[in-house]
Amino acid sequence: MHWLLYRRGVLDLPFEPDRDAPEPLYVQLAEHLRTLIASGRLPAGEKLPATRELAGALAIGRNTAAQAYQRLIDDGALLAHVGQGTFVSSREAARAPLRTDGTSADASSDIDGPRAFAWDTLFSRSARQALPPAFFPDSGEGIRFDFRCGRVDESVVPLTELRRAFAAALRAPDGDRVSLANFSDPYGQPELREQIARMLMARGIACTAADILVTAGAQQALDLVARVLVDPGDRVAVESPGYAFAAMAFRNAGARLVPIAVDEAGMRTDQLARTLRTHRLKFVYTTPAAQLPTGVVMHDSRRRALLELADETQTPIVEDDYDSEFRYAKGAPPALKTWDAAGQVVYVGTFSKAIFPGLRLGYVVAASALRDRLALTQVQASFGVGHIAQAAMADLLESGAFERHVRRLRRHYAKRRAALLDALADTMPKSVTWIEPLGGLQVHITLPREIPGAVLRAAARTRGVLFQAGETFFLDGRGHDQLALSFANQSPEAIDEGVRLLASAMEEVERDAGHANENDAPDKGILQP
């Protein structure tokens, strides 16, 4: 950690160059200084250190320091006087330019008021990571057709069964399933773990209640795995395209992410094998049963290859079975965990999708050495998962209500999946392609070439349509030629109308692009190959 020194000799706020960040060091330093000026920590008229002094204090090149100063001088936040030095111009000038993420700096506070506390300068390296496009979602105001991922149909939430199960949990006497006066078992309530083990045994996964850790959803399970296994700089293989919030959890633990391509047969194990020949991976993350976002099922040959690679290189596999209940093909493939003789597969599941996302109940099946560490880490963070919800979920499993609910859901969502596929076939340009998912709750769509995502989103939004941006699923900003449509929370009639409006938005973007480029390519539209 380095500190900025000022002419008065006062130590102020820390600055640590992040040499792994995509932004050059001079941009990082300039934005750090801009934050200090805008917050009033560096007042107007303050003389800054000479570039040589600054470079020495921060262990950076003098040219880097000079470029940072020049960036702020060009913006008007700093003033340079030949022979005198570099001085702070004003807080207002520091607020005026755009930040590196393209958003306006906050100019709402009183310029002449007390200086603000500069929290941005104190964030950890992981907290400074860029957020995926979907993290701050559209409010949905004025939206009639919301095709974004991660939602369920509220009309099929089993309210009657939930009321009964939660009421039973609260009525239970002390010592019977749950006591309101005690913390939860760090591994999860024994009754729930027993019921989860029975459910998984029926799916072919050999386990007992002792092998299971209950978590606050699958996302917490992934975060715990990352915190227990990853040291800063460790490499972790992830699917590309893939689940953004898994990538965030691994990145926040300090992992260097290695994207592995996905095709119609699932994760490309040939590409993974080449990676393993040159790099040591801490683990491989995959969604083999219903790949997110494509919905493809990993072929048996790839499954065998993945397990063989894991065994040969002693690399764990984290299997995220997030949508295990939603399978639309007969003879759904078994989980990777069913073929795991050595205990190398860490199996992650959740009830949140089948019941409702806010339930926040998931689980991990892992070897005892790892499971114990995961449990300890969870206790350090939250003392475990709320036991009332656990007791209610155990009741739903034991009574058979959960299984009956899942059977209804499969039929319900299968109709909506069919409606979306039919609507796409009826309305989309021939150059647009998609994969018929065998699992999950969304359809992944590919356009013939990249288009400005913001342009298509704006055109769709004016028609009351939201979709999941393709760049959400990539690590490197790619994906502008892709998008995903969830069929979970729209009726078949709404799906048909919403897709027609989305096709209309695509035609508008195509037409506008054609007009813009008619001198160079008069017959080539943006959605044509």
pLDDT digits (tens, 9 = 90+) for 203-237: 889 899 999 999 999 999 999 999 999 999 999 99
With respect to residue 10, please indicate whether it lies within any of the assigned structural domains: yes
pLDDT at 277 over 90: yes
Distances from the Cα of 504 to the Cαs of 302, 419, 462, 511, in angstroms?
39, 18, 11, 10
Q: Are residues 433 and 364 in the same domain?
A: no
Concatenated DSSP letters of 28-62: HHHHHHHHHHHHTSS-TTPBPPPHHHHHHHHT--H
Q: According to the model, what pLDDT value does residue 17 have?
A: 75
pLDDT at 522 exceeding the cut of 60:
no
**What percentage of residues in the chain have a pLDDT greater than 70?**
81
Confidence (pLDDT) at 121? 63
Q: What is the pLDDT of residues 66-122, one digit of tens each?
A: 999 998 888 888 888 878 889 888 766 665 444 444 444 444 444 455 556 666 667
366 and 475 inside one domain: no
Q: According to the model, what pLDDT value does residue 92 have?
A: 67
Where does 333-452 have alpha helices with state H?
Answer: 368-382, 387-399, 401-427
pLDDT above 70: residue 257: yes
- Indicate whether 349 and 424 sit together in one domain: no
Which token pair is 119?
Answer: 């929290």
pLDDT tens readout for residues 23-52: 788 888 888 888 888 877 788 888 888 888
47 lies in some domain: yes
How many angstroms separate the first and last alpha carbons of the chain?
51
Dist. CA 187–CA 364, nearest whole Å: 10
pLDDT averaged over every residue in the chain: 83
Higher pLDDT, 528 or 131: 131
* Per-residue pLDDT band at 140 (split at 50, 70, 90): low
**pLDDT of the residue at 523:** 39
Residue 111 confidence (pLDDT): 47
Mean pLDDT across 345-352: 93
Supply the CATH number for residue 13's domain: 1.10.10.10
pLDDT score at 466: 92
For residue 173, pLDDT beyond 80: no
CATH code: domain of residue 499: 3.90.1150.10
The 10s digit of each residue's pLDDT in 385-437 is: 888 899 999 999 999 999 999 999 999 999 999 999 999 999 998 888 998 98
In the chain, what is the greatest distance between 2 CA atoms, to the nearest angstrom?
A: 83
Report the pLDDT value the prediction gives residue 37, as an integer from 0 to 100.
84
- Global confidence as pTM: 0.76
State the pLDDT confidence band at 326, using cuts at 50, 70 and 90: confident
Within a domain: residue 281? yes
Give me 441's structure tokens: 């709750």
Does 440 lie in the same domain as 299? Answer: no
Residue 499 CB-half CA count within 13 A:
28
Residue 529 has pLDDT above 70, yes or no: no
Q: Is 140 left (phi over 0), alpha (psi -120 to 50) or beta?
A: left
Mean pLDDT on 185-193 = 90
Number of domains present in the structure of the chain: 3
What tokens does 527 get?
A: 């959605």
pLDDT at 139 over 80: no
Task: Give the separation between CA 523 and CA 518, rounded to whole angstroms.
Answer: 7
- In a domain, residue 58? The reply is yes
161: in domain: no
pLDDT in tens, 434-469: 989 888 899 999 987 766 667 888 899 999 999 988
Asked whether residue 297 is domain-assigned, the answer is yes
Residues 373 and 328 in one domain: yes
What domain range is 88 assigned to?
Answer: 2-112
* Percent of the chain topping pLDDT 90: 42
Going by C-alpha positions, the residue among 279, 275, 362, 347 that lies closest to residue 317 is 347
Does 495 lie in the same domain as 432? yes
Residues 332 and 419 in one domain: no
pLDDT band at 520 (very low <50, low <70, confident <90, very high): very low
Answer yes or no: is 522 within a domain.
no
The CATH number that applies at residue 235 is 3.40.640.10
Q: Lowest mean pLDDT: which of 250-259, 325-334, 474-483?
A: 325-334
Instruction: Indicate if 299 and 366 belong to the same structural domain.
Output: yes
Answer yes or no: is 389 within a domain. no
